[in-house]
Amino acid sequence: MMLVLVAMLLQVEPEIPTVRVLVQSGKSATVECRGAVTVAKPGAAKPLVVITKLTENEIALVDGRFKFLGRLFDEPWLTIEGRDPEQPVKLSGGRSYAGQLHVVRDGASFLVVSEVDLETYLYGVVGSEIGPGSPYDAMKVQAVCARSYAIASMGGVPRAGQKRATYDLFDDTRSQVYVGVPAANANLKRAIRETAGVCVQWKKDVVKTYFSSSCGGHTMGVKEWTGGAEVPPLSGVACGFCEGVPNGRWTVKATLAELTKKLRSRTGERELARVSVAKRTESGRVAEVLLEARDGKRIEMTGEAFVDACGGRNRMFAIKLDGESLVLEGRGYGHGVGMCQYGAIGMAQKGKAWEEILAHYFPQATVAPVYGPALKKARP
């Protein structure tokens, strides 16, 4: 993913914006709802169909048209919405979604997109990303990061009548994990409410606040990650708060013979005699690895390509040779840019407030609301 800094409008509307998330794609899907449901064409004054209760029903494409509820629809885009907020629409796979579900033709298949207000969307993100049992201030940090990331991904806070993309985000780690309507969690909802509309900003721009599980001791700057320009809030910081976390350390073992086979496209099947770290980045990650063959040939490869070939988790690792065996000893999990989730948990456990945690991981940034009632309160 590339860094995105989104220029915010000088005048923003106080309403909570919606976000569109791709939750499924294919040639068929099933939907159901215990309450009343409407099926409509986007922007139409009246729905096409109103159903008092939707039993499990398949949506499929037949000759380029949607087949649903025993009829064919010519519309390339249908919006399914539950009338009762307490009765969300359930999609095949078992997840339920508040707001609207759009089914959109996409060639020989179709997309299913969940559109929901951004604060409700966060209910399905925060717990799945940082864990519903995390310290309260860590959940508030995750809420602010997830909100900022979503707004940056949308290109800013959408305005009424603005032309929108079919979807803004994925529901998995390509963006951030979104599970629809989650199990009830009072602390999680309170953490989202108490940070409503709040985002990480730099020079009046909303920062795309990346985050990952554990950084291994130092977060990675976006310049190091992408090769682009450095941005102060994403420049990388020391982090001693994720030590000792579950799965925080990892080990990969292989013999030199096994490694020779894995890297034969790079070595020309030369037998390896030695492997060492040739260069590290500013954050301590491996930038280059030196492969030395028995015939004296020296070959350099990137740390990323090497760790991927070996099955490691990231580039924060050391190499040890034990006779004819190679041992990679690594720390951390994930790309390591932005907020370290286990680090945030560790800081919260030590009594740090959510504002302090955000200030640590995003230096020089400001934290302030960009929409909603909180924006009105923040204005003089």
**pLDDT tens digit sequence for 93-124:** 899 999 999 999 999 999 999 999 999 999 99
| b/e code 246-255 from CB counts within 10 Å (16+ = b) | eebbbeeebe
Report whether 263 contacts 291 (CB < 8 A): yes
pLDDT higher than threshold 70 for residue 220 = yes
Note the pTM of the prediction, 2 decimals.
0.90
pLDDT higher than threshold 70 for residue 270 = yes
Q: Report domain extents, the chain.
A: 120-242+336-378, 249-331
Average pLDDT, the chain: 91
pLDDT, position 380: 43
Can you tell me the mean pLDDT for 51-76?
A: 95
Q: Which of 144, 167, 145, 141 is nearest to 154 (CA)?
A: 167
pLDDT, position 240: 87
pLDDT, position 4: 35
Where does residue 241 rank: exposed (0-12), middle (13-18), buried (19+ CB within 10 A)?
buried
Domain 249-331 fold: Outer Surface Protein A; domain 3 (3.90.930)
Write the pLDDT tens digit of every residue in 318-346.
999 888 889 999 999 999 999 999 999 99
Which H/E stretch holds residue 212? strand 211-212
Can you tell me the mean pLDDT for 208-220?
A: 96
CA-to-CA separations, 291 to 145, 161, 256, 258, 310, in angstroms, rounded: 40, 57, 11, 14, 13
Sequence-ordered list of residues with C-beta below 8 angstroms from that of 324, at least 6 positions apart, any chain: 255, 256, 257
Question: First CA to last CA across the chain, in angstroms?
Answer: 37
Q: How far does CA 174 lie from the centroid of its chain?
A: 6
Where does residue 309 rank: exposed (0-12), middle (13-18), buried (19+ CB within 10 A)?
middle
pLDDT, position 10: 35
* Local confidence band at 6 (pLDDT 50, 70, 90 cut-offs): very low
C-alpha span between 58 and 103 (Å, rounded)? 12
Q: Six-digit token pair at 12?
A: 């923003």
* Local confidence band at 377 (pLDDT 50, 70, 90 cut-offs): low
| Region label for 211, one of left (φ > 0), alpha (ψ between -120 and 50) or beta (otherwise) | beta
Report whether 56 contacts 101 (CB < 8 A): no
Q: What are phi and psi of 28, to 5 degrees?
A: -155, 155
Which residue carries 């499990």 as its tokens? 56
Q: Six-digit token pair at 140?
A: 């508030």
The number of helix segments (H) and strand segments (E) in the chain equals: 11, 25
pLDDT higher than threshold 60 for residue 379 = no
pLDDT, position 183: 87
Q: How big is the chain by its Cα radius of gyration, in Å?
A: 24
Which residue carries 């302090």 as its tokens? 356
pLDDT, position 13: 47
Angle value at C-alpha 156, between 151 and 161, nearest 5 degrees: 115
pLDDT higher than threshold 80 for residue 33 = yes
* Local confidence band at 357 (pLDDT 50, 70, 90 cut-offs): very high
Write the pLDDT tens digit of every residue in 122-171.
999 999 999 999 999 999 999 999 999 999 999 898 877 788 999 999 99
For residue 75, count other CB atoms closer than 10 A to its CB.
17
Q: Six-digit token pair at 344?
A: 């945030």
Write the pLDDT tens digit of every residue in 246-258.
767 899 999 999 9
